[in-house]
Amino acid sequence: MKVKGRKIIKKKEKKSLIFKKKFCRFCLDKNKVIDYKDFKALEMFVKERGKMLSSRITGNCAKHQRRIAEEIKKARFLALVPYTRI
């Protein structure tokens, strides 16, 4: 602790962090289809350098994250989505 004038400043102040629960958009809307031909939708799950985003960031469940990864790999093979971007 440092005393500065009449204020006491603590080195570590505990801040409460509130996280918003992320939900799988494919589980919420059963009509959404994951398809390799829809490369515009697949680009939402790819970083700007070409890496796939993790489910921790996108909020997808494990089942749909595996499906997205599979479809991205198909789209890459068919040159719809690039492997890397420079």
The pLDDT tens digits of the residues spanning 59-86 come to 999 999 999 999 999 999 999 999 998 7
Closest Cα partner for 65 from 23, 19, 20, 24? 24
* Residue 9 lies inside a defined structural domain of this protein: no
* Residue 56 lies inside a defined structural domain of this protein: yes
Domain of residue 68, residue span: 18-77
Average pLDDT, the chain: 85
Q: Structurally, how many domains does the chain consist of?
A: 1
Asked if pLDDT for residue 5 goes beyond 80, the answer is no
* Residue 85 lies inside a defined structural domain of this protein: no
Beta-carbon count within 10 A of 12 CB: 5
* Residue 84 lies inside a defined structural domain of this protein: no
* Residue 83 lies inside a defined structural domain of this protein: no
Q: What's the confidence (pLDDT) of residue 34? A: 94
> pLDDT tens, 17-37?
667 778 899 999 999 999 999
Q: What's the confidence (pLDDT) of residue 15? A: 62
